[in-house]
Chain A
Amino acid sequence: MAAEKSSIKIITLIAADGSVFEVEPNIVKEMKTVQSYIDELDQNTVSIPLPNVFGNDLAMIIEYCKKHASEEETKEAKEEFDFEFVKRMKSDDKLRLLQAASYLNMESFLQFMAKAIAAEIENQSVEFVRDYFQIESDFTPEEEAELRKENEWAFK
């Protein structure tokens, strides 16, 4: 199996909006969801539909993977890239990328996005976090007051 797998030269990823990305196998190594497709097929070129990821997001994820898969880049250059990568994203970009990372089952990218999101909600009020995540509370005001009281030791 190993020999057959290594014969794959180009992998085509098709995003939810139909946009197409051709990448080398080492770029998708971290995407376990894609890997499980590849393991099932043994053709020279593989085309994989990713109906839960939009093209713009997939383009960013591939950019990230390319940078991190590169052996020529120094650790410092990768850190600098990560910093800029997060800086240019809006809040909902981060949430969508986290969702994509979860769907693609990418461990280190998921960690990276979780950390970026945590940095935005650190030291913020519950109201801010609720708004940030666009969570609609299903507690009645009474229930919420009760919960706050129960957990008042965390709100000091």
Chain B
Amino acid sequence: MKRERHEHNNHIENEEENNNNDIISDLPDSVLLHILSFLKTKDAVKTCILSTRWKNLWKHLSILTLYSSHFKTLRDFFKFVSRILFLRDDSTAIHTLDLHRRGIIEPHLLKKIIKYAVSHNVQQLEIDVGCDIQHFPTCLFSCQTLTSLHLYVRHRISGQRTLFPNSLNLPSLTNLSLDSFAFPIENDGRANPFSAMKRLNNLIIDDCIVLDAQKLCISSDRLTDLTIQTTFERCFCEIELSTPSLCTFDFIGIPYQKLRGSHLSSIKQVNFDANIMENPTKPPSVLLSWLLELTGIKSLRVTSTTLQVLSLVPNLLKVEFPSLCNLKSLKVKRKEISYELSKSLLDANFAKLPTGASYTDVVKLWETFSEGSSSIPDGIVDFLLQNSPSAEVDIIN
């Protein structure tokens, strides 16, 4: 369907001759499609009435961005999606499809979209919809071409999580990002949801749980980047890593789980943004135990609040700390103390005040640990650097 165009090798002269300023329409289809790819698909389709040159261009888009929020009514959105799938050029593969419908999506429409994407060799899928996981066609979970998948299936009941499908066969998948899933446990009492994804490089687990708060096992030979984000304590009781290539570990949330694994020293870069619950059920020594386990860290990035959580460990500065020997860089990003953390910090530090402390001491303590402060606990940076005094330190405001 590519339109025949004259090659304008001496375009500048032409411009002078006929004063044609429409340089855009002389560019090849592939260039114009690049521009359309960065638009939401709704805007891309609208370019069909610019001129004949643009009339059928959108039909060759390989990146589709379908958001229900771009439409006035749900009916308009559903109709739009159906028309797109019906009218677009069938021989053009789908490279990327983003589908966002935060409320409930009609099961038959979801099936139609996914089946279309899979049959058009989709490589990257981003899906954020409200529905039951059973409404996804099974072809998604055995898609041979899929390299990147972001999946957020909103449960009908708020606060509930969708059960993660058991049998996944995604041989090309390198990037996986999951939001609000519950991982089922296997016969050995552990969840091990990723072992069949042989090429996985990058894994993001956001606000997921393991059923019965059991162990989460992540086994993957090629995994290099892992991000875990939690919003409460008992999402799983232990993280067991069997990931010999893992290099970067990001954790955002409440450190509660034991961290175990046979290759933890492969982790070179660690980013922590820790918080605690209002009435923590465990002493805050988990974070310290992680730092003791992760012996290979070269680059450590933490928020100031992470250091505050760490400072809650009783007599921290006197604890034997043989870790962080290979540290080259420590970055501390200032972050405001949350209400929950402030409460624990104030309780702990008021308890330490000697009897007869002056009013100024009390005010100072209050200012340091109240909600919204982004202070860094005294002595903690030196504590972390005790085995690598030459590491570079950066405080980021």
How many A-B residue pairs have C-beta atoms within 8 angstroms? Tell me.
Answer: 103
What is the chain A residue whose CB lies nearest that of B47?
Answer: A129
The residues of A that contact B36 with a CB separation of less than 8 Å are 118
Does B31 interact with chain A (Cβ within 8 Å)?
yes
Contact A122 B39 (CB under 8 A): yes
Indicate which residue in A52, A114, A137 contacts B35 across the interface (CB closer than 8 Å): A114
- Check: A75 CB closer than 8 A to any chain B CB: no
B25 touches A135 (CB 8 A): yes
Q: For this complex, into which size category does the number of interface residues on chain B fall?
A: 35 or more
Q: Which of B75-83, B115-123, B141-149, B361-369 contacts A (4 or more CB under 8 A)?
A: B75-83
A129 touches B40 (CB 8 A): no
CA distance A151 to B41 in the complex (A): 13
The answer, yes or no, to whether A60 is at the interface (CB within 8 Å) is no
Q: Quick check: B71 and A122 within 8 Å, CB to CB?
A: no
Interface residues on A, range: 35 or more
Given the known inter-chain contacts A95-B23, A99-B27, A121-B39, please indicate yes or no for A139 contacting B11, CB distance below 8 A.
no
Residue-wise interface mask of B (6-45) relative to A, using a CB-CB cutoff of 8 A (1 in contact, 0 not): 0001111000000001111101100100111111101101
One of B49-57, B337-345, B385-393 at the interface: B49-57
- Is A40 engaged at the interface, CB distance under 8 Å to the other chain? no
Interface status of A147 (Cβ within 8 A of chain B):
yes
In the assembled complex, B318 has its CB within 8 A of some CB on chain A: no
Q: Chain A: which residue is nearest B40 at the CB level?
A: A122
Least CB distance, A8 to chain B, in whole angstroms:
26
Nearest A residue to B52, CB-CB: A138
Verify B83–A118 contact, CB threshold 8 A.
no
Chain A residues with CB under 8 Å of B24's CB are 95, 98, 133-135
Interface residues of A in 99-113 (CB under 8 A from B): 99, 102, 110-111
* Cβ-defined contact, B34 with A133, below 8 A: no
Q: How far is the CA of A123 from the CA of B102 in the complex (A)?
A: 21
Contact B11 A126 (CB under 8 A): no
Query: What 1/0 flags go to A143-156 for Cβ under 8 Å of B?
Result: 01001100101111
In the complex, which of the residues B25, B38, B80 contacts A133, with contact meaning CB atoms closer than 8 Å?
B25
Instruction: With A153-B83, A156-B72 as known contacts, state yes or no: A115 contacts B38, CB within 8 Å.
Output: yes
Q: Is A49 an interface position by the 8 A CB rule?
A: no
Q: A151 contacts which chain B residues (CB < 8 A)?
A: 45-46, 48-49
Between A and B, 7 residue pairs with Cβ closer than 8 Å are: A52-B11, A102-B31, A114-B37, A126-B49, A133-B24, A154-B45, A156-B73
Known: A110-B34, A144-B49, A156-B73. 13 other contacts (CB 8 A): A98-B24, A99-B23, A118-B37, A119-B38, A124-B43, A130-B51, A135-B22, A135-B25, A135-B50, A135-B54, A136-B22, A154-B46, A156-B80
